[in-house]
Amino acid sequence: MKPPRKLHIKSYGCQMNVYDAQRMVDTLAGEGYIETGDVNDADLVILNTCHIREKASEKVYSELGRLREVKDEAARHGRRISIAVAGCVAQAEGEEIIRRAPVVDVVVGPQSYHHLPQLLAHARRHGRALETEFPVQDKFGFLAPPRAEAIRARGISAFVTVQEGCDKFCTFCVVPYTRGAEVSRPVARIVDEVQRLADHGVCEITLIGQNVNAYHGEGPDGRIWTLGQLLHRLAALPGIVRLRYSTSHPRDVDDSLIVAHRDLPALMPFVHLPVQSGSDRILSAMNRKHSSDDYRRVIDRFRAVRQDIAFSSDFIVGFPGEQEEDFQATLALVAQIGYAGAYSFKYSPRPGTPAAEIRETVSATEMDERLVRLQQLIDSQQSAFNQAAIGTTVDVLFERSARNPGQIVGRTAYLQPAHVMASPDIIGKVLPVTIQSLERYSLLGQLAPPTPASQAQLAPADVAPADVAPADRTPAEIMTPAHITTGA
């Protein structure tokens, strides 16, 4: 028997890349590849890249510089390492990647991952392979499903892509160019995938898409279903106790989504709803297609049906032409909404986007200063939100053993990590926890007697595996809700 080939994959950027990386691993498993965490041990290295801001893009080239040394060293020992660049930089830069970094063997855009085995074979024969087309085929129909062991190893919470691409064309954003037009997967395929995940112990699903609430997939009745309808269907699947979705656009919040929040206890009351700016002048220059008041009204609609709902958002500071008064409008909006957390970014001009052509730019010093002021406000809101949990009893879905021996870590409805001392057999269960203190971004508490609500959620979740212990994430990564952001 041939020894297995080893694959090392590194993902940058949004959670859609995390999902795509898993599907690439699943597809290459069929070709005899197993995953390795050690790049020096790999036969194939895939960089799954992000193009959203300049910093993210440039990381790829510094990583490729390091990989050249790894590849040369392996070659000195008679071993060949193949290097593939996948993701949005691959899509945006194509052949330019090979020109700048000849160490690369394969360049593959996000819509072509199902062709990876053929592309690797082609590169072995001809030296290089590149595919950055937007094929008409639905790649999801061709990517291999994860094996049972892979699902179990990935833990009790999983991402499922339901929608990809974006038709909004915000003037600063590369997504419509790198991920292409909005496409939704059919309901039946998503249900099958979620069912399979649930069969192997997954009990929390986050539906993802660059503009997830624009979801309009074909339903089993032949009609087009909305995200709200899809959530209703998935909530009915045995074993699924928590549902989330990300990232949403304020313009696409329809009544079915609001109704889903009203009627589905499994749908977590935590919504990532990027607004980008509080200034109507800037929102219009960004082509956001909504005003700051439209955004406030959307928030009110959610709050009207679920008083305990919390929000996170994305902000861009220093968009071309942003004046102090525009920035003040952003601060005022944040102060009024009150976020549980948010991501804020300095504007980064992206080649090929309309905003990159605008001359009237904001100075680097001003951008830095605005970013600090905005982050201070957001941080104070996030701290207040976390502090408010102390002394309350909240439901926590337990995910894995923590770094400290004897501790198990889970998440509250608002994705706050919560630690308790308990036995690992609580992994996969939703249990009430009385929160006693806050350590940086983590809540510490102890198991409380069960509440009727947690009891009701508990029954189907008992199928969870006991042996899940993926690598610890840093508290900042866990709590900042925007580590899940992908678009919108």
Could you tell me the smallest distance in angstroms from the CB atom of residue 299 to ligand SF4?
17
The residues with which 225 forms a beta bridge, in sequence order, are 217
Pairing of strands 417-421, 310-317: unpaired
Owner of token pair 């089993």: 220
The yes or no reply on residue 155 touching ligand 5AD (CB under 6 A) is no
The yes or no reply on residue 46 touching ligand 5AD (CB under 6 A) is no
**Burial environment of residue 107 by CB neighbours within 10 A (0 to 12, 13 to 18, 19 or more):** buried
Residues 458-487 that bind ligand 5AD (CB under 6 A): 485, 487
Size of residue set near ligand 5AD by CB under 6 A: 14
Could you tell me the smallest distance in angstroms from the CB atom of residue 488 to ligand SF4?
4
Rank residues 176 and 320 by Cβ distance to ligand SF4 and give the closer one.
176
Rounded to whole angstroms, how far apart are CA atoms 189 and 162?
A: 9
The yes or no reply on residue 165 touching ligand SF4 (CB under 6 A) is no
CA distances from 143 to 35, 112, 269, 328, 360 (A): 17, 10, 32, 47, 45
The yes or no reply on residue 52 touching ligand 5AD (CB under 6 A) is yes
Could you tell me the smallest distance in angstroms from the CB atom of residue 298 to ligand SF4?
14
Could you tell me the smallest distance in angstroms from the CB atom of residue 169 to ligand SF4?
6
User: Which of 394, 390, 383 minimizes the C-alpha distance to 432?
Assistant: 394
User: Which of 210, 247, 29, 230 minimizes the C-alpha distance to 110?
Assistant: 210
Contact predicate 23/46, CB 8 Å: no
The yes or no reply on residue 249 touching ligand SF4 (CB under 6 A) is yes
The yes or no reply on residue 311 touching ligand 5AD (CB under 6 A) is no
Pick one of 109, 274, 278, 481: the residue that binds ligand 5AD (CB under 6 A).
274
Rounded to whole angstroms, how far apart are CA atoms 314 and 305?
A: 23
Owner of token pair 């005022």: 332
Contacts of 307 (CB under 8 A, 6+ apart): none
Between CA 353 and CA 360, with CA 356 as vertex, the angle to 5 degrees is 145
Pick one of 34, 73, 169, 293: the residue that binds ligand SF4 (CB under 6 A).
169
The residues with which 407 forms a beta bridge, in sequence order, are 421
Residue 348 binding: pick among ligand SF4, ligand 5AD, none (C-beta 5-8 Å cut-off by kind): ligand 5AD
Residues 85-144 that bind ligand SF4 (CB under 6 A): none
Could you tell me the smallest distance in angstroms from the CB atom of residue 247 to ligand SF4?
7
The yes or no reply on residue 50 touching ligand 5AD (CB under 6 A) is no
The yes or no reply on residue 53 touching ligand 5AD (CB under 6 A) is yes
Pick one of 178, 210, 344, 457: the residue that binds ligand SF4 (CB under 6 A).
210
User: Which of 280, 266, 367 minimizes the C-alpha distance to 320?
Assistant: 367
Rank residues 173 and 268 by Cβ distance to ligand 5AD and give the closer one.
173
Contact predicate 190/230, CB 8 Å: yes
Rounded to whole angstroms, how far apart are CA atoms 306 and 259?
A: 10
Size of residue set near ligand SF4 by CB under 6 A: 12
Pick one of 20, 63, 93, 314: the residue that binds ligand 5AD (CB under 6 A).
314
Other beta carbons less than 10 A from residue 135's beta carbon = 13
Rank residues 182 and 395 by Cβ distance to ligand 5AD and give the closer one.
182
Pick one of 19, 113, 177, 345: the residue that binds ligand 5AD (CB under 6 A).
345
Rank residues 119 and 371 by Cβ distance to ligand 5AD and give the closer one.
371
Could you give the 3-state DSSP secondary structure of residue 33? strand
Rounded to whole angstroms, how far apart are CA atoms 234 and 452?
A: 22
Residues 156-175 that bind ligand 5AD (CB under 6 A): 172-173
CA dihedral in degrees (342, 396, 476, 382; nearest 10)? Answer: 40
The yes or no reply on residue 341 touching ligand 5AD (CB under 6 A) is no
Binding residues vs ligand SF4 (CB under 6 A): 166, 168-170, 173, 175-176, 210-211, 249, 487-488
Binding residues vs ligand 5AD (CB under 6 A): 52-53, 172-173, 274, 276, 314, 316, 345, 347-348, 350, 485, 487
